[in-house]
């Protein structure tokens, strides 16, 4: 899904920080992470919420912030901050204390769980711009 389509399909978009991890992931098993919302970019995200995902240190996939999302591999390939189960379900890869741009859609997208380490992050800037230009306002304009 393109970034524009991802924003258009979103229920909410938020920057959130991982506060706690409940358990350890083991291969195909995800664990529960507790988040605290820092900023809502679109929609209505709860101030605290839980998501299942993989622990950054236990994940075999290369993850991170892709050099502030300026790494061409993020844009040209299917690189993202996700892992998949053997059933092809998509989950974010998280670490306690880190901040993520979370985009809630009906079906999880491989770019919906990106690690954000600064306000200058290119993915964050792109999503902010698309929210401004793509998501309809309350009056439908």
Q: Which CATH number does the domain housing residue 107 bear? A: 2.40.50
3-state helix, strand, coil in the chain (%, to 5): 20, 35, 45
Q: 30-47 pLDDT, tens per residue?
A: 789 999 999 999 999 999
Question: Is 50 exceeded by the pLDDT of residue 141?
Answer: no
Confirm whether 124 is domain-assigned.
yes
Residue 61 has pLDDT above 70, yes or no: no
Is the residue at 56 inside a domain? yes
**How far is residue 141's CA from residue 124's CA, in Å, rounded to a whole number?**
23
Q: Which residue has the higher pLDDT, 27 or 125?
A: 125
In this predicted structure, what is the pLDDT of residue 116? 94
pTM: 0.85
Query: In total, how many domains does the chain have?
Result: 1
* Residue 98 covered by a domain: yes
Task: Give the pLDDT band (50/70/90) at residue 70.
Answer: confident
Judge whether 140 lies within some domain: no
């Amino acid at each position: 899904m393109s970034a524009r389509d991802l924003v258009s399909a979103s229920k909410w978009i938020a920057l959130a920080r991982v506060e706690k991890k409940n358990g350890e992931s083991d291969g195909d098993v995800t664990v529960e992470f507790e988040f605290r919302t820092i900023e809502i970019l679109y929609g209505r995200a709860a101030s605290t919420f839980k998501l299942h995902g993989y622990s950054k240190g236990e994940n075999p996939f290369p993850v991170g912030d892709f050099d502030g999302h300026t790494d061409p591999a993020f844009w040209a390939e299917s690189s993202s901050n996700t892992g998949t189960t053997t059933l092809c379900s998509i989950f974010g890869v998280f670490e306690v204390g880190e901040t993520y741009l979370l985009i809630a859609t009906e079906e999880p997208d491989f770019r919906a769980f990106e690690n954000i380490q600064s306000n200058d992050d290119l993915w964050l800037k792109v999503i902010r711009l698309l929210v401004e230009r793509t998501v309809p306002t309350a009056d439908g304009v």
